Amino acid sequence: MSNTSYPDISRAKSAELFEKAKQYFPGGVNSPVRAFKSVYGTPLFIERGDKAHIWDADGNEFVDFCCSWGPLILGHNNAQVREAVTAQLGKGLSFGAPTALENELAELILSNNKYLEKIRFVSSGTEAVMSAIRLARGYTKRDKIVKFEGCYHGHSDSLLVKAGSGLVTFGETSSAGVPKSFADETIVIALNDEKALQTVFEQFKDQIAAVIIEGIPANNGLLIQTKAYINFLRQITKDNGALLIFDEVITGFRLGFEGAAAYYDIQPDIITYGKIIGGGMPVGAYGASKELMSCISPDGNVYQAGTLSGNPVAMSAGIAALNILAQPDFYTSLAATTATFVQAIQEYTEQHGYELNIPTIGSIFWFAFTTNTEIRRADQIDPASMEKYKVMHRELLNRGIYMGPSGYEVGFISAAHTEEDLEKAKKAIFESLDIVFG
């Protein structure tokens, strides 16, 4: 393989758009990671996508492994999803009233997911998690939440909290504008540490409403937890009258139709989902048992509402997408494709003695620049290793491969990735790694 850098792609139009965007938006973006602060160059402004490919404002074409941060499991511009959306556009964009489409999507989800009895549609993953936390507090009549360092659950106040300095401490706000009193209701501990959680329940007996964890933590690397640890979470929450919340905004309908709950064969008390249930449209949902969901207004006294909840365009897209995902062997085929892709890269790194490990599960993978093959906690990730990803990211872009603009982000394979796409990506990855380690 060549260890010669390719010339940088042209970003002239993207750079021009970025300068203009800075006049309108903080940092020139509407979501922070898009600013490309962790990698080289200015952000790419994307003009269109089709199947596994995207094109930027400068006409550069890329094989996309970001997939809109995961939900585009069918790739870009899927024909069935597009046609369903187009048909609904002719009928109306929003009514703020019930439609039969909500029933249809709910039935599709509930009839194929034994871990849920009722759901409520919202407009984003953040909103779903925020609502799940409120439900847990309302049901248990307790205030405190336990979350794990390295798990991201959206930008609601009570979850923008990072670990303090001790083994078991109240969290510290990770954003200005979050009151300390909010952080004082959130306890942050390390993943994969049974003793820490036992101590939490001893110190705050009868005060903890819920423990929340990503189905598979995948917002800060891919931190795959053991089944023994997840079983421990289920048992200790049950023993202490607290709820277990699975945030499946990434893993739900990505690992399988029943997500991480099925992977671990665990019944969480509440599960949250994101845009994948709407074919990538702005939508989310949270679900639980009939008993728990009966606490939600108008049946119960836990208030949650939204004008765009159950939006007909998003529901139409979701019905089209999930009907494809529900087909036999969809997930096994996609997981097999991903495993073959990752194995080829892993074998290349081992042959060359490169310090790289690629954790993978389902159709998700992550480049970890370390020899540690069992990274389960955020503090096991070496921040200095991100410099290697920074070089790799630039080399991949120059070879027509698009990955998330941060070494902490995972990659996704979609059903639209062809063998040709994956062969091109492997070659580009091999060459990029030769430069990183050259």
| DSSP letter (8 states) at residue 35 | G
Q: For the domain with range 78-324, which CATH number is right: 3.10.20.30, 3.40.640.10, 3.30.420.40, 3.40.390.10?
A: 3.40.640.10
Supply the DSSP string of 114-175, one letter for each residue.
Answer: TT-SEEEEESSHHHHHHHHHHHHHHHHT--EEEEETT----S-GGG-EE--SSSSEE-EESS
Which tokens belong to 178? 């979050």
Under 8 Å between Cβ of 392 and 408: no
What is the amino acid identity at position 202?
Answer: E
Of the pLDDT bands very low, low, confident and very high (cuts 50, 70, 90), residue 377 is: very high
Mean local confidence (pLDDT), 96-117: 97
The DSSP bridge partners found for residue 49 are 54
Nearest by Cα to 362 from 344, 336, 341, 326: 336
- Which pLDDT belongs to residue 158? 74
Question: Nearest 10 degrees: CA dihedral of 326, 328, 333, 336?
Answer: 100
Q: Which of 123, 74, 100 is CA-nearest to residue 286?
A: 123
Question: Can you tell me the distance from the alpha carbon of 328 to that of 321, in angstroms, rounded to the nearest whole number?
Answer: 14
Tell me what the pLDDT averaged over the chain comes to: 94
**Average of per-residue pLDDT across 353-378:** 95
Catalytic, out of 147, 275, 331, 408: 275
Confidence of residue 1 (pLDDT cuts 50, 70, 90): low
* Annotated catalytic residue within 51, 56, 147, 247: 247
pLDDT tens for each residue of 167-190: 444 556 777 887 778 778 999 999
The SS3 assignment for 302 reads strand
pLDDT of residue 136: 98
Active-site entry in 139, 152, 264, 273: 152
User: Could you tell me the pTM of the whole model?
Assistant: 0.95
Dihedral over Cα of 221, 226, 229, 235: its sign: positive
Query: What are the start-end ranges of the H helices in 225-329?
Result: 227-239, 259-264, 290-293, 312-325
- The H or E element that residue 247 is part of is strand 243-247
pLDDT of residue 163: 55
- CB atoms < 10 A from the CB of 205, how many? 10
* DSSP single-letter state for residue 40: S
Q: What is the pLDDT of residue 165?
A: 42
2 band by pLDDT with thresholds 50, 70 and 90: low
207 contacts 144 by C-beta, under 8 angstroms: yes
The pLDDT value given to residue 168: 47
Q: Is 275 labeled as catalytic in the residue annotation? A: yes
Q: Is 40 a catalytic site residue?
A: no
What residue spans define the domains of the chain? 10-63+327-435, 78-324
Cis peptide before 7 (omega within 30 of 0): no
Query: What H or E segment, with its residue span, contains residue 108?
Result: helix 100-110
Q: How many CB atoms lie within 10 A of CB 92?
A: 10
How many other CB atoms sit within 10 Å of the CB of residue 19?
Answer: 11
Would the pLDDT of 166 be above 60?
Answer: no
Q: Does 10-63+327-435 carry CATH code 3.40.190.10?
A: no
The amino acid that residue 117 corresponds to is E
Pairing status of strand 61-64 against strand 401-402: parallel
Nearest in space to 394 (alpha carbons), one of 44, 39, 67: 39
